[in-house]
Amino acid sequence: MSPEVVAHRGASTLRPEHTLAAYELALRQGADGLECDVRLTKDGHLVCVHDRTIDRTSGGAGTVSAMTLDELRRHDFGSWHGGEPAEVLTLDALLGLAADHGKRLFVETKHPVRYAGLVERRLAEELGRHRVDAVMMSFSVLAVHRFKKLKPDVPTVLLYDRLWPKVKPHFADYAGPGVHLLRRHPDRGQGVYAWTVDDPADIALCQERGVRFLATNNPEETREHLADNLTPDQP
């Protein structure tokens, strides 16, 4: 089986990350799933922003957790990348898009943050309002644990960056190594979520080693590489 292709921050090579345009392109490119990072605004909305601040990915500046949704909406999240002007994307809107297209959405909660466990509580509430196939992820063991207690039926991924222990905690359904860790431990690839996989040699490694979910910034090219690598009798 080839890995499922997960669009990392949308089709973020070609479109500004975490914008509607990036996710719509990923869907047109045939991504199997979508990935996003979420942060909580000052007035309690989950928005799709990777960094603590909006300085890198918008025309403005400031810390997400210190701004209201209305304040964030005054900034353009598209032009920095050469794209069309774009509003900050709420998780609510992205959940709606994923549900409409029947795609799995991988939601990563960022930590440490000012609002700590409130982020997972708000995520659990939002998932309750949408009929969507969601997966919760985090580098924070505590965050994955507390989310699992809130929403036992939603699959979880514990992400790994520097070290990848052989055994994962029981509340994590999948291990989520960076692809640099998979290169170091190729024998552990079966059934994992690997990120961020854009290089053809890494794509081939994921395929050979039975990776289940492959997060990439470029879903179209990744799908082409996966198809090229298949031998005629492979699914």
Residue with tokens 């997960």: 6
Element (H, E) at 71: helix 69-73
37 is a contact residue toward ligand G3P (CB under 6 A)? yes
Instruction: Kindly identify the residues of this chain, within the stretch 100-129, that bind ligand G3P according to CB under 6 A.
Output: 108
Q: Which does 147 bind (CB under 5 to 8 A by kind): ligand G3P, Ca ion, none?
A: none
Is 50 a known active-site residue? yes
Q: How many residues bind ligand G3P (CB under 6 A)?
A: 9
Cα torsion 212, 95, 30, 218: sign: negative
The string of DSSP letters for 120-165 reads HHHHHHHHHTS---EEEEES-HHHHHHHHHH-TTS-EEEEESS---
213 is a contact residue toward ligand G3P (CB under 6 A)? no
User: Which one of 47, 195, 206, 218 is in contact with ligand G3P (CB under 6 A)?
Assistant: 195
Cβ atoms 120, 145 nearer than 8 A: no
Give the residue at shortest CB distance from ligand G3P. Answer: 195
Which token pair is 178? 């960076």
Q: How many residues bind Ca ion (CB under 5 A)?
A: 2
CB nearer Ca ion, residue 87 or residue 108: 108
Element (H, E) at 24: helix 20-28
215 is a contact residue toward ligand G3P (CB under 6 A)? yes
Query: What letter does residue 80 receive in the DSSP assignment?
Result: G
17 is a contact residue toward Ca ion (CB under 5 A)? no
159 is a contact residue toward ligand G3P (CB under 6 A)? yes
Q: Which of 18, 50, 145, 225 is catalytic?
A: 50
Neighbours of 30 (CB within 10 A): 12
Rounded least distance, CB 233 to ligand G3P, Å: 31
Distance CA 89, CA 106 (A): 15
Rounded least distance, CB 232 to ligand G3P, Å: 32
Interface with ligand G3P (CB under 6 A): 8, 35, 37, 50, 108, 159, 195-196, 215
Active site residues per annotation: 8, 50
